[in-house]
């Protein structure tokens, strides 16, 4: 009781120290909460949407982008396969430029499959559905957001074509699942969806509700017997699961970053609790002398740490909620940029995520206090009064700690490069590297500071020597702060180099792959089905003066042995394979590809499915299942799920249509791109579809813009980890300043001016920061190598060329120095204000 009271009063007398510890935990917990909430909110929104769209369906029939002939649905109904519901689904853009999901259904068929959608559709008089097209039913929240009511026009754009819809009815969502899962959705009839989305006569899928047991098995057999070529029958949840899996690596990456922030936060707690122990050593020694048991001291100090942790956690949870709002925007934008359209309006409270973050905060605090608590418990009354004994102990510890650190780094290296483990093993390796490097830091700080004392003395005299030796001598205080700073800066270097390498690899790839001068496609491509371009467009554009040749591309999703996969069919014309960046290939690859006798696969596809040149891939086409040998593995940064490339000739042979999604225009030498774009626009006029003409330079710039947006969330997390570390340094410096009041008073008495004290203190903190920055470079580069060469490949399948910009390393060292200097301003101010007389008075 008395011990607890003494501890409480100590923290009340040193409120800044306790406040910084609390801040460290709060920030660490907030980052974990924010990332977890952003992740779970995005995941929940996706799951709810998938559930609402799935309804009671047990199975679905689909055929990728090509879709199913609607006659097949009629055939199924005639065969008695009911309930069954056809769906045409896609994204359009509203007048405000926001994506809106168009869910095209047969209102009567929805009964028994998606009752909520049926009730929405049947809110409109059935006669109106039959007599008029272009009607849409909105749910109340979406109608409010768009500011629309029944009878209002709803202009939308899809694939460059404008369509005038009308809000036929606005209804309250019948349940919470519909409210959440079908937000941003307009329910329309099949014909309207087909017209707007350009899928005349086609269905995206047919949802089925099949009974369990033998009856269901029999029904399945009956349907399979009727399945057209290229179609696939699967369980209803499989598609959603595959989409969810796509983002798993991305979400795991974010989680790893949030744990990094918590690790730095835990170091801060260790810092704060260990200061409080160090400063109370004489008191603890006296307590031991009057009979307080070791266990009592140990429990008391751990309890203090846990209490600080609980307060920090309680503050961190709401802070995390606020931060989650910011992160959610970045996360959903990244998912929408990279994977699929995802709309999440608000952070969904997740008790699991909150409980996990709270537990981590409190446990990390307890674990972080255990070390200082042990120090407190083992203190002897005699050594407690000797500062030198503490520093000697710290000096003795740094060697073994460093050896342990080297061991951990070797283990981390083995996990990363030693054998082909998974992503989790990769992250374990990264953390082992980071913790290993952290353990070496105190030893290295001491060595470097001692080595720098002489040159610093030669440069600026006694203050330089004092600053350098002060860093080495105060290791028991400043060591942990230095560790926190090194960990944060290591992460900054590692992640920045990885992002730079990724960007450089992408830019190099874009330079090679954008071999045409102008690219034409439909604007505002949202959703998984890219809009097609008018027939004959390629020929019209090829005839424009100044055009040397044109190439075409077709992108679609097709069912395969690996689930639904992306297929890209193209014909680069005379440019041949100039725009393809090969990683591995057969000598005969291009000729076989052109002849439709071989396929290329992208790097991520090869990595995800364990394929290489010489293997084969098969997928379903309207002409039945086709298997092609893999003649090349190519670099492609457009999608982390990977894709298969086939020639246009092969596509025409299997799909038998002339649909294209893009045209690549190769200009004649000397042609002015701007003038040519004008001429191309003119040639394309009258097609009834708005088109987008972009120069190679514009595409390149936009691609890099999306890339930068993708990593915005990573940069935010990096910044937070650095702020947490800077708070640690501030705590350490304040504690040191408090202890060194007497020393500063002597210096002031000897004639050091307040400005010289400023200089001395800032030299010390700047030196600590600079040393931390320099020490962060080697582990930072190792981390970069791990993230670039191992984590990225395991998570996404991309191999990246490691490129290190020396300026970036210099920036990181400067960041550490500036962070330490900023953190050192207040302690230096305090030190400069030390009144020598007051500090030295011993009346």
Partner 1 sequence: MQLCGLSKRYPEGDTARVVLDGCDLDIHRGEALAIVGPSGSGKSTLLNLVGAMELPDRGALWFAGQDLAQLSETARTLFRRRHLGFIFQQLNLVPTLTVLENLLLPLELNGALDADGRRHALALLERVGLQGRDASFPEHLSGGERQRVAVARALVHGPGLLLADEPTGSLDGDTARVVLELLDELRRERGMTAVLATHAGEVAAKADRRLALGAGRLQEAAPA
* 749 binding partner 1? (CB under 8 A): yes
Question: Which range binds partner 1 by CB under 8 A, 31-39, 179-187, 457-465, 574-582?
Answer: 457-465
The H or E element containing residue 626 is: strand 624-634
Q: Give the shortest CB-836-to-partner 1 separation in angstroms.
A: 4
What x-and-dash track marks residues 754-783 binding partner 1 by CB under 8 A? x-----------------------------
581 exposure class (CB count in 10 Å sphere: 0-12, 13-18, 19+): middle
Q: Which residues on adjacent β-strands are paired with residue 207?
A: 60, 85
Number of other residues whose CB lies within 10 A of the CB of residue 31? 31
Q: Give the shortest CB-335-to-partner 1 separation in angstroms.
A: 54
Of the pair 62, 478, the CB lying nearest partner 1 is at: 478
* 841 binding partner 1? (CB under 8 A): yes
Question: Which range binds partner 1 by CB under 8 A, 47-55, 96-104, 433-441, 746-754?
Answer: 746-754
Q: Give the shortest CB-834-to-partner 1 separation in angstroms.
A: 11
Number of residues interacting with partner 1: please give it, by CB under 8 A.
29
* Torsion angle of the four alpha carbons 585, 590, 593, 594, in this order, in degrees rounded to the nearest 10: 170
User: Closest by alpha carbon to 786, among 494, 547, 353?
Assistant: 494
Angle at 30 between CA 28 and CA 33, to 5 degrees: 110
Q: Which residues on adjacent β-strands are paired with residue 137?
A: 169, 187
Sole binder of partner 1 in the list 11, 251, 288, 465 (CB under 8 A): 465
Of the pair 544, 828, the CB lying nearest partner 1 is at: 828
* 466 binding partner 1? (CB under 8 A): yes
* 597 binding partner 1? (CB under 8 A): no
Q: Give the shortest CB-759-to-partner 1 separation in angstroms.
A: 13
Of the pair 340, 829, the CB lying nearest partner 1 is at: 829
User: Percentage helix, strand, coil, to 5, in the chain?
Assistant: 60, 15, 20
Residue 361, CA atoms < 13 Å, CB-side half-sphere: 31
Sole binder of partner 1 in the list 115, 698, 743, 811 (CB under 8 A): 743
* 840 binding partner 1? (CB under 8 A): yes
* 842 binding partner 1? (CB under 8 A): yes
Cβ atoms of 522 and 160 within 8 Å: the answer is yes
* 13 binding partner 1? (CB under 8 A): no
Question: Which range binds partner 1 by CB under 8 A, 73-81, 317-325, 468-476, 789-797?
Answer: 468-476
Question: Which range binds partner 1 by CB under 8 A, 183-191, 199-207, 684-692, 830-838?
Answer: 830-838
Instruction: Report d(CA 522, CA 161) in Å as an integer.
Output: 9
Q: Give the shortest CB-753-to-partner 1 separation in angstroms.
A: 5
Of the pair 214, 838, the CB lying nearest partner 1 is at: 838
* 470 binding partner 1? (CB under 8 A): yes
User: Closest by alpha carbon to 608, among 786, 416, 422, 785?
Assistant: 422
Q: Which two tokens stand for residue 444?
A: 């290295």
> Considering Cα of 650, then 655, then 657, then 658, what sign does the dihedral take?
negative
The H or E element containing residue 318 is: helix 294-338
Q: Give the shortest CB-767-to-partner 1 separation in angstroms.
A: 12
* 469 binding partner 1? (CB under 8 A): yes
Sole binder of partner 1 in the list 745, 774, 776, 783 (CB under 8 A): 745
Cβ atoms of 642 and 797 within 8 Å: the answer is yes
Instruction: Report d(CA 538, CA 521) in Å as an integer.
Output: 11
Question: Which range binds partner 1 by CB under 8 A, 326-334, 352-360, 469-477, 490-498?
Answer: 469-477
Of the pair 24, 463, the CB lying nearest partner 1 is at: 463
Of the pair 682, 753, the CB lying nearest partner 1 is at: 753
Cβ atoms of 467 and 456 within 8 Å: the answer is yes
* 51 binding partner 1? (CB under 8 A): no
Q: Give the shortest CB-730-to-partner 1 separation in angstroms.
A: 21
Question: Which residues are CB-neighbours of 738 under 8 A, at least 6 positions away?
Answer: 14, 279
Q: Give the shortest CB-27-to-partner 1 separation in angstroms.
A: 32
Sole binder of partner 1 in the list 4, 126, 461, 574 (CB under 8 A): 461
Q: Give the shortest CB-449-to-partner 1 separation in angstroms.
A: 10
Of the pair 575, 840, the CB lying nearest partner 1 is at: 840
Q: Which two tokens stand for residue 272?
A: 């704060």
Angle at 366 between CA 360 and CA 370, to 5 degrees: 140
Sole binder of partner 1 in the list 747, 767, 770, 809 (CB under 8 A): 747
Question: Which range binds partner 1 by CB under 8 A, 164-172, 281-289, 416-424, 462-470?
Answer: 462-470
Number of other residues whose CB lies within 10 A of the CB of residue 775? 25
Restricted to residues 372-411, the positions that interact with partner 1 (CB under 8 A) are 388, 391
Cβ atoms of 456 and 464 within 8 Å: the answer is yes
Q: Give the shortest CB-843-to-partner 1 separation in angstroms.
A: 5
Of the pair 475, 776, the CB lying nearest partner 1 is at: 475
Of the pair 212, 843, the CB lying nearest partner 1 is at: 843
* 424 binding partner 1? (CB under 8 A): no
Q: Which two tokens stand for residue 574?
A: 């005379």
Question: Which range binds partner 1 by CB under 8 A, 461-469, 477-485, 492-500, 643-651?
Answer: 461-469
Of the pair 348, 831, the CB lying nearest partner 1 is at: 831
* 836 binding partner 1? (CB under 8 A): yes
Three-class SS state of 42: helix
Phi and psi, residue 121, nearest 5°: -65, -35
Instruction: Report d(CA 345, CA 354) in Å as an integer.
Output: 19
Q: What is the CA radius of gyration of the chain?
A: 33
* 738 binding partner 1? (CB under 8 A): no
Q: Give the shortest CB-345-to-partner 1 separation in angstroms.
A: 57
Sole binder of partner 1 in the list 212, 214, 221, 838 (CB under 8 A): 838
Q: What is the DSSP letter of 65?
A: B
* 459 binding partner 1? (CB under 8 A): no
* 473 binding partner 1? (CB under 8 A): yes
Cβ atoms of 551 and 570 within 8 Å: the answer is yes
* 837 binding partner 1? (CB under 8 A): yes
Instruction: Report d(CA 327, CA 35) in Å as an integer.
Output: 7
Q: Give the shortest CB-832-to-partner 1 separation in angstroms.
A: 10
Q: Which two tokens stand for residue 562?
A: 């690996």
Instruction: Report d(CA 132, CA 350) in Å as an integer.
Output: 44
Question: Which residues are CB-neighbours of 654 under 8 A, at least 6 positions away?
Answer: 621, 622, 623, 626
Q: Which two tokens stand for residue 729?
A: 């340094």
User: Closest by alpha carbon to 55, among 247, 242, 240, 221?
Assistant: 240
Q: Give the shortest CB-477-to-partner 1 separation in angstroms.
A: 13
- Residue found by looking up tokens 């097949």 in the block: 72
Three-class SS state of 237: coil
Does the bond joining 83 to the residue before it have cis omega, within 30 degrees of 0?
yes
Of the pair 227, 839, the CB lying nearest partner 1 is at: 839
Which spans of this chain sit near partner 1 (rule: CB under 8 A)?
388, 391, 461-462, 465-466, 469-470, 473, 742-743, 745-754, 835-838, 840-843
């Amino acid at each position: 009781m008395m011990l607890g009271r003494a501890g409480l009063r100590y923290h009340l007398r040193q409120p800044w120290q306790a406040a910084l510890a609390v801040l460290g935990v709060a920030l660490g917990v907030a980052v974990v909460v924010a990332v977890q909430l952003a992740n779970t909110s995005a995941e929940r929104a996706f799951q709810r949407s998938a559930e609402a769209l799935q309804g009671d369906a047990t199975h679905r029939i689909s055929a990728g982008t090509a879709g199913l002939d609607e006659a097949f649905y009629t055939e199924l109904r005639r065969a008695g396969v009911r309930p069954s519901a056809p769906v045409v689904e896609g994204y359009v853009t509203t007048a405000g430029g926001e994506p809106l999901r168009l869910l095209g259904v047969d209102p009567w068929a929805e009964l028994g499959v998606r009752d909520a959608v049926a009730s929405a559709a049947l809110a409109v008089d059935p006669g109106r559905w039959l007599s008029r097209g272009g009607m849409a039913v909105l749910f109340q929240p979406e109608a409010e957001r768009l500011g629309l009511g029944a009878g209002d026009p709803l202009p939308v754009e899809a694939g460059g074509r404008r369509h005038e819809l009308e809000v036929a009815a606005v209804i309250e969502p019948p349940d919470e699942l519909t409210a959440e899962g079908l937000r941003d959705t307009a329910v329309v009839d099949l014909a309207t969806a087909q017209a707007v989305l350009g899928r005349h006569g086609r269905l995206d899928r047919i949802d089925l509700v099949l009974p369990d047991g033998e009856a269901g098995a029999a029904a399945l057999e009956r349907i399979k017997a009727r399945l057209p070529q290229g179609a696939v029958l699967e369980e209803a949840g499989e598609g959603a699961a595959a989409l969810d899996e796509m983002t798993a690596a991305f979400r795991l990456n974010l989680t790893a970053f949030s744990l990094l922030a918590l690790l730095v936060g835990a170091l801060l707690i260790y810092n704060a609790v260990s200061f409080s122990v160090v400063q109370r050593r004489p008191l603890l020694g006296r307590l031991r002398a009057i009979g307080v048991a070791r266990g009592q001291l140990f429990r008391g100090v751990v309890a203090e740490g846990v209490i600080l942790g609980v307060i920090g956690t309680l503050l961190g949870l709401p802070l995390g909620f606020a931060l989650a709002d910011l992160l959610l925007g970045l996360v959903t934008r990244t998912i929408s940029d990279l994977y699929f359209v995802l709309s999440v309006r608000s952070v969904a409270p997740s008790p699991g995520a909150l409980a996990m973050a709270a537990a981590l905060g409190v446990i990390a605090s307890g674990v972080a206090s255990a070390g200082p608590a042990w120090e407190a418990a083992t203190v002897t009354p005699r050594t407690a009064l000797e500062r030198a004994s503490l520093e000697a102990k710290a000096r003795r510890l740094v060697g073994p700690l460093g050896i342990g650190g080297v061991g951990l780094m070797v283990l981390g290296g083995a996990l990363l490069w030693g054998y082909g483990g998974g992503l989790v093993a990769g992250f374990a390796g990264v953390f082992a590297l980071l913790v290993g490097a952290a353990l070496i830091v105190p030893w290295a700080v001491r060595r470097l500071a001692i080595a720098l004392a002489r040159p610093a003395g030669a440069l600026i005299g006694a203050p330089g020597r004092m600053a350098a030796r002060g860093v080495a001598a105060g290791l028991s205080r400043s060591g942990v702060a230095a560790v926190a700073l090194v960990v944060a800066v290591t992460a900054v270097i590692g992640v920045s180099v990885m992002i730079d390498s990724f960007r450089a690899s992408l830019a190099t790839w874009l330079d090679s792959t954008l071999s045409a001068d102008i690219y034409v496609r439909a604007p505002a491509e949202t959703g998984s089905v890219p809009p097609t371009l008018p027939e004959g467009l390629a020929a019209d554009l090829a005839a424009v003066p100044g055009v040397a040749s044109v190439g075409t591309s077709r992108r679609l999703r097709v069912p395969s042995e690996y689930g639904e996969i992306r297929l890209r069919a193209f014909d680069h014309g005379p440019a041949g394979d100039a725009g393809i960046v090969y990683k591995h290939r057969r000598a005969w690859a291009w000729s076989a590809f052109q002849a439709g006798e071989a396929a290329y696969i992208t790097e991520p596809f090869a990595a995800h499915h364990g394929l290489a040149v010489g293997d084969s891939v098969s997928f379903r086409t309207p002409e039945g299942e086709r298997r092609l040998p893999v003649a090349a593995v190519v670099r492609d940064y457009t999608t982390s799920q990977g894709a298969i490339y086939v020639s246009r000739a092969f596509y025409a042979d299997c799909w038998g249509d002339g649909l294209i999604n893009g045209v690549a225009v190769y200009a004649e030498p000397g042609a002015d791109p701007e003038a040519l774009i004008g001429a191309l626009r003119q040639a394309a006029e009258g097609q009834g579809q708005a088109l987008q003409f972009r120069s190679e330079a514009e595409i390149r710039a936009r691609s890099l813009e999306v890339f930068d947006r993708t990593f915005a969330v990573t940069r935010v997390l990096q910044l937070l980890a650095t702020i947490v570390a800077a708070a640690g340094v501030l705590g350490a410096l304040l504690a040191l300043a408090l202890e060194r009041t007497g020393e500063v008073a002597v210096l002031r008495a000897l004639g050091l001016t307040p400005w010289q004290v400023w200089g001395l203190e800032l030299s010390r903190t700047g030196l600590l920061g600079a040393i931390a920055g320099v020490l962060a470079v080697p582990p930072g580069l190792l981390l970069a190598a791990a993230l670039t060469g191992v984590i990225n490949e395991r998570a996404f399948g991309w191999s990246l060329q490691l490129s290190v910009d020396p300026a970036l390393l210099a920036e990181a060292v400067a960041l550490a120095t500036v962070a330490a200097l900023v953190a050192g301003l207040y302690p230096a101010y305090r030190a400069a204000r030390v009144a020598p007389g007051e500090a030295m008075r011993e009346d």
